[in-house]
Structure 1
Amino acid sequence: MKRISQYKKLFAIEDSLDLKTLKKTYRNLVKEWHPDKFQDGDAGQAEAELKSVEIIDAYHFLVSIAPETKAANLEAYNKTIMESSILDFQHKGLVLEITFLDGTTYEYFGVPKNVFIKFLNSDKQMRFARRSIFNSYTYRKSKKETQAA
């Protein structure tokens, strides 16, 4: 959640994510912080390089959790959570990362430790996750791994 609020603050987003507004803000920030705008050897150039990397990371992250992106990928997400089982999971801070047997990995943001403990101790983890995690928390597809045949 800290990461989401930090990136929203960088892009000056108050409430909902709109891809059109996000893209416009991204372009303006990239123009403003492009390292080529600063002189060689200038201290501002090093800062601009770091800031531009942060802007790019923030943009890709915010696009991945935008409602339009979720709507476009909803069918694949539903197929994964309904047809595939959990292969592995990891909880760090308030982020729960779940890898499914089909190789897809999703991150769920804002999952408190007590919910993770209930998930961990559940005798039917997939059932608990479907009811209490999958559609209750902000999520994004973090990576897709190819299965070796």
Structure 2
Amino acid sequence: MKRINQYKKMFSVEKEIDLKELKKSYRNLVKEWHPDKFQDGDEKKEEAEVMSRQIIDGYHFLVSIAPETKEANKDAYTETTTNTGIEDFDLKGQVLEITFTDGSTYEYFGVQKPIFQKLINAPNRYRFAKRNIFNNYLYRKSKKDQEMA
């Protein structure tokens, strides 16, 4: 959640993510922090390279959790969460990564350790996840899954 708030702050996003406004903000930030604007050897150039990478990463991250993106991919997500089982899962911080048997991987944000413990100890992990995780947490298709495609 900290990462989401950090990126929202960077792009001046208040509550809901509007893709048009996000794109406009992204373009302005890229123009401002593009490394080619600075001379070689300048300290600002190195800072601009780091900032540029953060801007690109933040933009792609926010696009992946935007309501418009989620709505566009809702059918595939529903198909995955209703018709395939859980192959593997892992909690890193408050990000639960679930890999399904169809090969797709989704990240769920804000999952607390007690919920993860209940998932581990559940007699039917898929049913527990379907009732308590799939539609209760902010999610996005994992970067790992997108790299494999």
Q: TM-score, normalised by structure 1?
A: 0.96
SS in 2 for 1:12: coil
Structure 1 stretches of 4+ moved >6 Å = none
Query: Is the helix fraction higher in 1 or 2?
Result: 2
Structure 2 residue runs of 5 or longer lacking an equivalent are none
- Post-superposition CA distance 1:85-134 (Å, at most 9, x none): 10000001110000001110000000011111111100000001011000
Q: Which runs of 5+ in 1 are unaligned?
A: none
* Amino acid in structure 1 at the alignment position of 2:5: S
Aligned to 2:15, the other structure's residue is in SS state coil
Report the alpha carbon displacement of residue 28 of structure 1 after superposing the two structures with TM: 0.3
1:122 maps to 2:100? no
Q: Equivalent residues in 2 for 1:54-73 (5 A)? A: 54-73=54-73
TM superposition score normalised by structure 2: 0.96
Percent identity for Structure 1 against Structure 2 = 64
Aligned length: 146
1:39 alignment partner in structure 2: 39
Q: Does 1:95 align with 2:74?
A: no
Secondary structure at the aligned position of 2:44 is classed as helix
C-alpha distance in 2 between matches for 1:6 and 1:85? 33
SS at match of 1:15: coil
**Alpha-carbon distance between aligned partners in 2 of 1:65 and 1:5, rounded to the nearest angstrom:** 12
Q: CA RMSD of the aligned region, Å?
A: 0.9
